[in-house]
Amino acid sequence: MDSIGLFELLAYDFLVLIGCMLLLWLISIPLGDVSFVDSFWAAGFVVVAVFAYAVTGGGGGLRQLALGVTAIWGTRLALYLFWRWRHDGPDARYVAMVAKVKGSVPLFTLKNVFLLQGMMLWVVSLPIQFVMAAPEGTPLNGLAAAGGTLAAIGIFFETVGDWQMARFRADPANKGQVMDRGLWRYTRHPNYFGDACVFWGLYLMALQVDGGVWSVFGPLLLTWTLVKWSGAALLERRLSRSKPGYEAYLARTSSFIPWFPKKV
């Protein structure tokens, strides 16, 4: 590493993310809405990658590959989520969460939305940070190639899945219907599957770096979040209660990894 050590980089990235979250929290108070934080969830990884690349001196094929993957994935997703927030309004999940608050809403959202997401973002971005800690000039090897390929697959699934869902929801004829076309025919969550592929791809790149194996906590946390916590599990519970035909979709469609539909 050229200018600062790994642990210094991790500390600086943490402070940058917490600073960004505090600023966003202050913006959310007069808005009365925290939903826009989701777009920073994606943009925050770009912030981490760009900041870490800059303070470590830049350069190196491995660093550049990780920066490129993160920038393409994060920028596209951040813009899409911001557009969706402006188009659809406040996210129902956050509205329901805030409605249950007994005390100070700003204090609750500071702790349970902004600071929590900032800390999770820091953990999930561990592969990016480890890659940026690689010595300048670290060449690309088979792991980096495999990681880049897996990340590209992930970007494809997420981009196409989001586009297909946006088109489906924009057609009034589809109101109340279950989206089971395109990539959504083969996985109930092509966008979440794409996210996981991107970060497991970044993890493969991080394995080139000394100690990079320990960055596995990043993709593990993300995958658990997408599958078991605030992603697929929460969404499917809500849709099973509110959308006719969704139970049948659950029965025939792969939950996460794309596969051919079952005959039910």
Decide which of 243 and 221 is more confident: 221
DSSP 26-40: HHHHHHT--TTHHHH
pLDDT band at 238; cut points 50, 70, 90: confident
Q: Is pLDDT of 234 > 90?
A: no
pLDDT band at 48; cut points 50, 70, 90: very high
What the block records as the tokens of 38 is 């989701």
C-alpha dist (Å) from residue 261 to 151, 188, 258:
24, 10, 9
- Count the neighbouring beta carbons within 10 Å of the beta carbon of residue 75: 14
Q: Is pLDDT of 1 > 60?
A: no
Task: Give residue 18's identity as a one-letter amino acid code.
Answer: I
What the block records as the tokens of 147 is 């990681």
What is the model's pLDDT at position 92? 86
pLDDT band at 38; cut points 50, 70, 90: very high
pLDDT band at 2; cut points 50, 70, 90: very low
Over residues 35-64, mean pLDDT? 93
Question: What one-character DSSP code corresponds to residue 105?
Answer: H
Which among 183, 188, 197 is positioned nearest to 155, based on CA atoms?
197
Are 193 and 153 a contacting pair, CB within 8 Å? Answer: no
Average pLDDT of the chain is: 93
Q: Angle of helix 190-206 relative to helix 142-170, nearest 10 degrees?
A: 160
pLDDT band at 57; cut points 50, 70, 90: confident
Decide which of 231 and 157 is more confident: 157
Question: What's the whole-model pTM score?
Answer: 0.94
Are 69 and 203 a contacting pair, CB within 8 Å? Answer: no
Helix, strand or coil, per DSSP, at residue 206: helix
Task: Give residue 148's identity as a one-letter amino acid code.
Answer: G
Q: Is pLDDT of 3 > 70?
A: no
- C-alpha torsion 172→173→176→180, nearest 10: -110
| 210 Cβ contact partners less than 8 Å away, ≥ 6 residues apart | none
Phi and psi torsions of 86, nearest 5°: -70, -30
In tens, the pLDDT along 78-102 reads 999 999 999 999 988 899 899 999 9
- Measure the CA–CA gap between 188 and 260, rounded to whole angstroms: 11
In tens, the pLDDT along 140-195 reads 899 999 999 999 999 999 999 999 999 999 999 999 899 999 999 999 999 999 99
What is the model's pLDDT at position 157? 98
- Measure the CA–CA gap between 245 and 138, rounded to whole angstroms: 52
Stated length of the chain: 264
